[in-house]
Amino acid sequence: MGQLRSAALYCRVSTGDQSCERQARDLRAFAARSGFEIVAVFKETASGSVNARNERAKVVHLARDRRIEAVLVTELTRWGRSTTDLLHTLQELETYGVSLIAQTGLQFDLRSPQGKLFASLMSALAEFERDLLRERIRSGIAAAQERGVKFGRQKGQRVKADRYEARVVNLRTAGKSYRAIAHELHLSKNTVMDIVHRVDQRQMKALD
């Protein structure tokens, strides 16, 4: 008999009135039949829409530390929150050389031809998803620009100067010099002069 492959069991139920015991029992029997040595068993209560999966994170940590070769679940829906989440986590496990094997349904066993094919498909799908995201961002920016929305700092916009304008004017009105104002507000003398000049111009236009 060959060497047993190390595996972690992951069990999840959606509500507190459910129990992980049946999943754990079925997975122990599955591991014994399939030649896996159980390293750890993780049980979690979380609905499919909940992002936080603390116990699942511990499984991934074992995979990252190369302490397991496979993760066993009763079905893939126990592991993934959504198709996208399943895709991302499978890809992460694949980088560590760890298989995700479901007792029923698809098995992402990286030692099998089927598992290697799925790994290649996952990489292609992940790249496709990134391309779609980039395209949506570009399309969104283009549509916004057509509506007149401007991005980035606009010509003539002085974010820092505008923020200090009221304080500069008050200090200047109090009789302080440009140099003293610059020192007090940690600005350059030129910035202070520019602020005062722009305020003066606005006031002159208002009087015209």
Which pair of tokens denotes residue 113?
Answer: 């031809």
What Cα–Cα distance (Å) separates residue 114 from each residue in 72, 82, 111, 158?
A: 17, 22, 8, 59
The reported pLDDT for the residue numbered 62 is: 95
Q: Is the Cβ–Cβ distance between 39 and 8 less than 8 Å? A: yes
Rounded-to-integer distance, Cα 83 and Cα 56, Å: 16
Give the residue, 132 or 60, on which the prediction is more confident.
Answer: 60
Active site residues: 14
Quick check: helix, strand or coil at residue 100?
strand
Rounded-to-integer distance, Cα 141 and Cα 127, Å: 21
The reported pLDDT for the residue numbered 69 is: 94
Tell me what the mean pLDDT of segment 132-146 comes to: 75
The reported pLDDT for the residue numbered 63 is: 94
Say if residue 33's pLDDT is above 80: yes
Say if residue 150's pLDDT is above 70: no
Question: Which of 17-26, 63-72, 109-118, 182-191 has the weakest average pLDDT?
Answer: 109-118
Report pLDDT digits (tens) over 84-101. Answer: 788 788 888 888 989 898
Helices then strands (H, E): number in the chain? 8, 5
Predicted TM-score (pTM) above 0.85: no
Render 149-208 in DSSP notation, one character per residue.
Answer: ---SPPTT--HHHHHHHHHHHHHHHTT--HHHHHHHHT--HHHHHHHHHHHHHHHHHHH-
CA angle 200, 205, 208 (to 5 degrees): 130
Tell me what the mean pLDDT of segment 173-189 comes to: 85
Rounded-to-integer distance, Cα 81 and Cα 96, Å: 21
- Residue type for 123, please? S
Say if residue 105's pLDDT is above 90: no
Q: Is the Cβ–Cβ distance between 11 and 44 less than 8 Å? A: yes
Residue 153: band (very low, low, confident or very high) from pLDDT cuts 50, 70, 90: low
